[in-house]
């Protein structure tokens, strides 16, 4: 039977790779390196919350990426009485340190490997070039995927449809109805797919309530993608 889709667009953080595991390891190791003392689990959770709020502002186009990357650490440090002047240097080190911890989500490596040659597969991410390049190389996804598209290179963030213009241009023979984006974020991946006029697949492992947005597919395990394509 012919495949239903010819091109899969994979989000990276929270879909192919466990971003939270990398985040925890990176922040904790850099706290030690910068002499900031112990970073507790509660502090990590607070940083994650601050980070999410800033990335949502990025997706809405309210702040440039360079500003949000530093401001999230500045706010975090100020809240805990730490030296906020370290935020810039901490962020630079953090981008590279994120690539030191690779945790595959839900059999992602085996899945992408098994689909190679059956459908084209691109990575589409709002992560920084420094962090994502290291992650994709260390994980081996750079050798399995047919293309990597990063918002920092493109100049626009998901869900802006302009992010998807070069992605679609890289596969001019594939009609939009035969392109599927798979991701965990409703605000960047699913909204981006809808804005770009392509099919959407929400990776929802926690079984969160379905949104009102017209998502084409919802899965709780990445392996369910096989049946969809």
In tens, the pLDDT along 91-147 reads 999 999 999 999 999 999 999 999 999 999 999 999 999 999 999 999 999 999 999
The CA-based dihedral angle spanning residues 199, 203, 208, 214, taken in that order and rounded to the nearest 10 degrees: 0
The one-character DSSP state at 218 is E
Q: Which of 11, 106, 184, 189 is catalytic?
A: 11
Annotation says 11 is catalytic: yes
The CA-based dihedral angle spanning residues 40, 42, 43, 49, taken in that order and rounded to the nearest 10 degrees: 150
**Bridge pairing between strands 217-219 and 120-125:** unpaired
Structure tokens at 128: 């920084």
C-beta of residue 124 within 8 angstroms of C-beta of residue 149: yes
Query: What's the mean pLDDT in 39-49?
Result: 96
pLDDT surpasses 60 at 14: yes
C-beta of residue 121 within 8 angstroms of C-beta of residue 146: yes
In tens, the pLDDT along 54-93 reads 999 998 989 999 999 999 999 999 999 999 999 999 999 9
pLDDT surpasses 80 at 172: yes
Please give the domain boundaries of the chain with CATH numbers for all domains: 7-17+103-228 (3.40.50.1000), 19-100 (1.10.150.240)
**Reported pTM:** 0.91
């Amino acid at each position: 039977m012919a495949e239903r889709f010819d091109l899969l667009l994979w989000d990276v953080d929270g879909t192919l790779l466990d971003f939270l595991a990398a985040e925890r390891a990176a922040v904790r190791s850099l706290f030690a390196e910068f002499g900031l003392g112990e970073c507790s689990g509660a502090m990590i959770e607070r940083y994650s919350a601050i980070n999410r709020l800033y990335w949502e502002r990025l997706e809405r186009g309210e702040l440039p990426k360079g500003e949000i990357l530093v401001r999230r650490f500045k706010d975090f440090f100020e809240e805990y009485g730490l030296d906020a002047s370290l935020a810039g240097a901490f962020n630079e080190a953090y981008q590279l340190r994120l690539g030191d911890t690779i945790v595959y989500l839900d059999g992602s490596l085996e899945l992408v490997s098994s689909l190679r040659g059956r459908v084209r597969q691109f990575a589409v991410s709002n992560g920084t070039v420094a962090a994502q390049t290291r992650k994709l190389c260390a994980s081996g996804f750079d050798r399995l995927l047919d293309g990597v598209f990063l918002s920092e290179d493109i100049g626009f963030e998901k869900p802006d449809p302009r992010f998807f213009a070069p992605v679609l241009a890289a596969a001019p023979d594939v009609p939009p109805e035969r392109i599927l984006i798979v991701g965990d974020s409703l605000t960047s991946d699913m909204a981006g797919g809808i804005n770009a006029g392509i099919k959407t697949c929400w990776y929802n492992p926690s079984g969160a309530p379905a949104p009102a947005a017209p998502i084409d597919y919802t899965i709780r395990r990445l392996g369910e993608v096989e049946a969809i394509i």
